[in-house]
Amino acid sequence: MGSTVAAAGLPMAPSPSRTHPSDQIALGPLGSAGEAAAPLRQAQPLRFLEVRLGDTVVVAPPSGPWWIGRVIHREGGARCDANAFFQVACVDTGVIRTLNADAVAEILTPAAAAAPID
């Protein structure tokens, strides 16, 4: 799932064998989305605990490009109701992905201010 590295040491676009269109975006000089989202995670490392249904969020998985999505479902932990997993719909493609809660780097628009989900 990693990207190939060019002779200059800069990351190149991921392999075309991936199926999601947003996975085809070049990573740029910063490398993975995890590196690009590092300032957000350092400022508020537990921001994902504040996510609610309907929030528009930045998703920055440890590897691969970041993307923006709308939270459509959440799962709590076995011992407490803290966020553990989310189902998030990509705003560009509509693809629904299930991901670990800590892949959410930031809340862009809280559910109360977001447009209704159709």
Q: How many CB atoms lie within 10 A of CB 56?
A: 19
Ramachandran angles phi, psi of 98, nearest 5°: -100, 130
Q: How far is 8 from 1, CA to CA, in rounded Å? A: 20
Paired residues of 109 in beta bridges: 56
pLDDT (0 to 100) of residue 45: 67
Q: Tokens 């947003």, residue?
A: 22
Strands (E), the chain: 56-59, 67-76, 83-90, 96-100, 104-109
Better-predicted residue by pLDDT, 88 or 28: 88
pLDDT attached to residue 114:
56
* C-alpha atoms less than 13 angstroms from C-alpha of 29 in its C-beta half-sphere: 1
Q: In the 8-state DSSP scheme, what is residue 48?
A: G
Burial 7-17 (b: 16+ CB within 10 A, else e): eeeebeebeee
Give pLDDT tens digits for 20-71. Answer: 444 444 444 444 555 666 666 666 768 888 899 999 999 988 778 889 999 9
Q: How far apart are CA 71 and CA 117, in angstroms?
A: 10
